[in-house]
Structure 1
Amino acid sequence: MKPTTHTTTRLITLIMLLQQQPNQKAAELADQLGVSIRTLHRYIDMLDEIGIPVYSERGPHGGFSLVRGYKMPPLVLTPEEAVAVYLGTSQIVEMWEVMYRDAALGALAKLQNVLPDDQLQEIAWARQALVVTHMHRADFTRFMPVLENLRQATRNSLQVAMIYHGRSHPQPTSRTVDPYALVHRWGWWYLIGHCHTRAAVRSFRVDRILDLSLLEHTFQRPDDFDLQEYLDSEPHEQRERFAVRLR
């Protein structure tokens, strides 16, 4: 990242910090920004030069503050941040398709209406140079109703009943599951949840769900359940195996 981008990002962060809490000490602000106190004072001077009203008060309860009533504009992004938002919406469209496509494209359209020209140019470049596509290893169009039901069940903490044909089982089995999360990994969608049949947290590949029903019973996801920790410690035999052809 360019040094000027670092400075711009830190100036915006400084404004947000001052907006959130007045009378902040120089040492505290410098620590949050990861800079020296001398650099912080230089940033304060830079804000003053561009018309951002910052003042300081001496004493044990004093510090730096924005002039009362000042609010940062509702949307201030660096070019790199604008590209990051664009890439995020692109991945949402690619992964969720019809479920979040309109929302993602609508958010991007609103963003483009308020961004300055230099950031629009960055997004135009990203459209041609940073492309996300074919993230699924199979056509998930026919599984979208299942994904939508699972999304609703996860959002509303509803148990689900399903017929699941696991890789290691010759016949489909009936499962009742508390759906904790939907995870996209290795090119597939997975449901992570507590399986009442197995009395343990399990992962289920969505395209192997043959039938799904939302139940009226609700559940509470355990406070100590850490999704990332579970994914990192998932038994190796549950992970997908990929065939590699050597030529």
Structure 2
Amino acid sequence: MSKISHLLEMIITLQYKGLTTASELAETLDVDKKTIYRYISSLNKASIPVHTKKGRYGGFYIDEEFYMKPSKLSEDEIQSLLMATQILTEENGFIHQKHLESAVSKIKSFSVNDNMELKSLNDNGDFKINEIGSLQNLEDKISKINYSMNRGRALSLNYFSINKNSLTIRKVDPYNLIFKSGAWYIIGYCHMKEKVETFKVSRIKSLKVTDEIYMRPHNFQLKDYLENCWGLFTGEKTKVIIKFDKDIQSFIKDTKWHVNQEIKSLEDGSVLFSVYVDETDGVKNWVMSFGKNAEVIEPSELRDEIKQEVQEMYKKY
């Protein structure tokens, strides 16, 4: 990540989180503390009012009067940007594809009008809702999350799961609140899964601070967690594996269906098609269009969805 990207993430983190230590910023940006102090100096030279509070409970904070207001793009403008990422690819000679995708990801997270929900392109080029809430309640969410971490109180989240397409109630002990790739995430212990999980703040419909006290484990290191779970911050992709029969294998192999597809030939003449996607709804419709010649191997949730739909179709016929 470039220095400019680091500086922007620092400004946004300080703006929403308030008092933040050099250690927390260093862990979030994956740099050393000396670099953080140099960044702070650069921001001050640019007349951005970042101040230092000394002492045991000190850290950095930004002047309350300073506010980096996000621009509000129209729905058509957001859709145009999303379509551009589908057209401007390395395959088409655009060498800055990754930079464009990163920039659009950040714009999406901050360019949501109060009366609309964020939309994204699925693999068929259609738009669908994949986020809940807006900037209107973002500050309230972050305020409650910071309060719960400072007081050591567990959170109760009404959380939206994209794969299950439903809301679930989660009790979470929040360890960290970080800003990565244009979005806010809570990293904490999920009592339902009984392990440390990552929760995207934009998918939280509502949350409340409970009276239950928790202690952050002394051996938990954010840097180690991010290194082991970095895939969580690259779009939360789902791996899909589909087996196509030999009757259509040449058609599958001769067509470019997705930029990150992988195709493996099997001994019986069939092929395994693998791809990472943000959503599986578009894949479901695509797979079913091949009828008996296609079989979903992974994920099991998508396989079950198709099985249920086929059973319902069978009843009708």
Q: TM-score range by the shorter chain?
A: 0.3 to 0.5
Instruction: Point out the structure with max Rg over C-alpha.
Output: 1
So what's the TM-score if we normalise by structure 1? 0.46
Give the TM-score of the pair, scaled to structure 2: 0.36
